Amino acid sequence: MRADGNWEGHTILNRSKRMLLGGAEHEEPLARARGVLLAARETRVRPGRDDKVLADWNGMISRALAARGFAIRARPDWIARGAAALAGIMRLLVGPPLRHIGGRLSHSYRQGVRGAPAML
Q: Tens digit of pLDDT for each residue in 88-108?
A: 888 888 876 655 556 788 899
Q: Please state the pTM of the whole predicted model.
A: 0.52
**Mean pLDDT, the chain, integer:** 82
Question: Phi/psi of residue 7, each to 5°?
Answer: -155, 115
Percent of the chain scoring above 90 in pLDDT: 13
Confidence of residue 21 (pLDDT cuts 50, 70, 90): low
Calculate the dihedral angle through the C-alpha atoms of 16, 20, 25, 30, rounding to the nearest 10 degrees.
10
If you count DSSP H runs as helices and E runs as strands, how many of each does the chain have, helices first?
A: 3, 5
The answer to whether 119 and 106 are in contact (CB under 8 A) is: no
Q: What is the pLDDT of residue 63?
A: 81
Q: What is the pLDDT of residue 42?
A: 95
Q: What is the pLDDT of residue 22?
A: 67
Q: What is the pLDDT of residue 20?
A: 62
Percent of the chain scoring above 70 in pLDDT: 88
Helices assigned H by DSSP within the chain: 24-42, 55-67, 76-93
CA distance 32 to 104: 55
More confident residue, 73 or 64: 64
